[in-house]
Amino acid sequence: RNTTGVTEEALKEFSMMFKHFDKDKSGRLNHQEFKSCLRSLGYDLPMVEEGEPDPEFESILDTVDPNRDGHVSLQEYMAFMISRETENVKSSEEIESAFRALSSEGKPYVTKEELYQ
């Protein structure tokens, strides 16, 4: 992992997907290209008819394209993808502390019963 907390492989995949959907090689994706890119990366975005409201995607655009210029740059896209990948990641100290709290008597493992408590 690098300083972003995301693996190099993930960063390469994000970049490759952006370049794949940047058909005109402009260094930016229009909103439809961006949506297709997210879907190809596994985002479960609902299918909506042209012109119909899409609150889930609009919420994403609020983060990625707040000025609504109609495009998402590579930099904006990468920042969004990194933030999504790391939003639930805790520090190793927090993870170890949680593990110690679950494992009884300092064992190096957690039983199924301990997880369900």
HEC string for 19-52: HHHCCCCCCEEEHHHHHHHHHHCCCCCCCCCCCC
3-state secondary structure of 87: coil
Is residue 105 situated within a structural domain?
no
Is residue 111 situated within a structural domain?
no
3-state secondary structure of 71: strand
- List CB contacts of 73: < 8 A, sequence separation 6 or more: 27, 28
Note the pLDDT tens digit of each residue in 61-90. 999 998 889 999 999 999 998 888 776 555
Q: Could you give the number of structural domains in the chain?
A: 1
Res 92: pLDDT: 62
Is residue 28 situated within a structural domain?
yes
For residue 52, what pLDDT band results from cuts at 50, 70 and 90? Answer: confident
Q: Is this model's pTM higher than 0.95 or not?
A: no
Q: Residue 71's domain is classified under what CATH number?
A: 1.10.238.10
In whole angstroms, give the CA distance from residue 48 to residue 20. 23
| Token pair for 15 | 């970049």
Q: Which residue has the tokens 């997907």?
A: 17
